[in-house]
Amino acid sequence: MKRVHTQAEKRRPYLGYGPIASCGLGAVLGCCLLGGTPAWADDGNYQNFIIGERAQGMGGAVGATASALDACFFNPAGLARVQHDTLSISANLYGFQKYRAENALAVGEDLKRNSFVSIPAAVTGILKTEGPGVWAFSAFIPDQSTYNEITTYLDKKHFYAFSENDQTLWVGPSFGYPFSDQFLVGASVFGVYRSFNRMENVSWGDINYAFSDDLKYNSFGLLAVLGAQYKLDPEWNLGLTLQSPAANLMGSGTFSATEVSPETGSAALFGDNLKTGNALPAKVTASVGWEKPKDRAVGLDLTYHFPCSYDVVSGALTGVNTPSTSDSSRLTRASVVDVNVGGEYYLHSMYPVRLGFFTSHSSAPDVNPTGPSTDYRIPQIDKYGFTASVGRETKNMATNFGLIYLFGSGDAYGWQLNDQGTVVPASVEAKEQHLYLFLSTSFYF
């Protein structure tokens, strides 16, 4: 028998967790706690921001020459270069994030996000011991996004409101040791904490339909970074860094969703003490750098991110006017290669000028609107970034000011009309931009 599509099905939304109006809350959310729908969280790209005072200007291309704050993240072997106790602070100014996906809410209704956010901060204290080793302790936020939007389409009486706050914090010790003047090694151990909170509401006045849902979760894990630097001659350096996959130790989440529809009535799903994961994949970085201290330098880093797959959120959901169920969302990341290139030039040996370029290729699988409903669906957007900074260095202090610009385009999940005039899932065009201003300061003792 040929299925007759209702008006709600022909225009159903594709918010963070819809299609909703087509077959009732239980039937849809029972198989898509996080999957089967497009996600807002940016889990596909690994370099949305560059950490470290020197690295921020050089596009992150410091694996072979990193020291101080940069070394803890990019290559802890570089800590062995430090000659003085140091306190490094990367201060917040502001950042601008913009995202747009065509027909992502419904046919003719685009998903737009624009927000000003605080730039991820970083703090590192470095202690040079009596022996040759150097210890450091650092805390930094390598990624953060915040969105609060209200979107209206008055001609259809369609109203959307959504917010999202996603932040990851890395905290832990690092150690660098010189085996010789040419060969340095180091290690970092980080606790990785992620906090995620998302709310959304949709109201379609033309068909008396409403939907809302809330998701909040956190996760905590550990990972290690091992690094080595080798000096080929007084100016050329090689670097190698290995990062382990993150071991998820604990986490919990809550989820709730309600729907009011003239076709299905009212229903709700609730979940508490859900299991969560945040399994960052392993990666390996090979670096080469040419450097004349206090004069000029160039660097090149190539990073291979290994593939991985894990459940972002899973657990039992209790239904009201709909069956209770168990659900999970599987996030799959493909392998991806990123590049960082940068250089610096000193004016009068105390004013560094730095430029850089980096990629943030998407590890998200190809957009497949008809794929398994348990997939955690994220946009596939390859991004490209440029950095620039100027600074001033004295005997006891270094200050750098600059900007980072990141942009990209790709595919996301949305809707289109087929030849029969019925709305069907589709791959749609998405674009993204980030602009950050940063200020970093280091004190030498």
Domain for residue 70, yes or no?
yes
228-250 tens-digit pLDDT: 999 999 899 999 999 999 998 99
Q: Is 348 exposed, middle or buried (0-12, 13-18, 19+ CB in 10 A)?
A: exposed
Give 41 or 306, the one with higher predicted confidence.
306
**Strand ranges (E), 232-365:** 236-243, 247-261, 265-276, 283-292, 296-305, 308-320, 325-333, 336-347, 351-360
Residue in the block written with tokens 């011991």: 129
The total number of structural domains that make up the chain: 1
Domain for residue 125, yes or no?
yes
- The most confident of the ranges 40-54, 299-313, 320-334, 360-374 is 299-313
Q: Which candidate, 442, 443, 444, 445, places its Cα nearest to that of 52?
A: 442
Q: Check pLDDT > 90 for residue 414.
A: no
266-286 tens-digit pLDDT: 999 899 989 988 778 999 999
Domain for residue 189, yes or no?
yes
CATH number at residue 224: 2.40.160.60
Domain for residue 26, yes or no?
no
**Strand ranges (E), 118-182:** 122-128, 134-153, 158-178
In this prediction, what percent of the chain has a pLDDT beyond 70? 89
Residue numbers of the domain that contains 221: 41-198+214-248+274-307+325-444
Where does the pLDDT of residue 20 fall: very low under 50, low under 70, confident under 90, or very high at 90 and above? Answer: very low
75-106 tens-digit pLDDT: 999 999 887 777 777 665 677 888 898 888 88
SS3 state at 196:
strand
Domain for residue 35, yes or no?
no
Q: Is 299 exposed, middle or buried (0-12, 13-18, 19+ CB in 10 A)?
A: buried
Where does the pLDDT of residue 39 fall: very low under 50, low under 70, confident under 90, or very high at 90 and above? Answer: low
Domain for residue 93, yes or no?
yes
Average pLDDT of the residues of the chain: 84
Looking from the CA of 151 toward its CB, the CA atoms found within 13 Å total: 23
The predicted model gives 150-157 an average pLDDT of 90
- Output the CA torsion 170→171→172→177 (10° steps): 60
Where does the pLDDT of residue 119 fall: very low under 50, low under 70, confident under 90, or very high at 90 and above? Answer: low
- What is each CA distance from 432 to 97, 114, 154, 249, in whole angstroms? 8, 10, 26, 32
Asked whether the beta carbons of 266 and 260 are under 8 A apart, the reply is yes
Q: How far is CA 410 from the centre of its chain?
A: 16
* CA–CA distance, 115 with 101 (Å, rounded to integer): 15
DSSP class of residue 377 equals: B
Residue 91, pLDDT score: 63
Domain for residue 316, yes or no?
no
Residue 141, pLDDT score: 85
Q: Check pLDDT > 50 for residue 26.
A: no
pTM, two decimal places: 0.89
Residue 106, pLDDT score: 85
- What is each CA distance from 332 to 44, 261, 279, 437, in whole angstroms? 9, 33, 10, 32
Domain for residue 383, yes or no?
yes
Q: Which candidate, 442, 437, 382, places its Cα nearest to that of 404?
A: 437
Query: What is the per-residue burial (b if ≥16 Cβ within 10 Å, else e) of 135-146?
Result: ebebbbbbbbbb
DSSP class of residue 8 equals: H
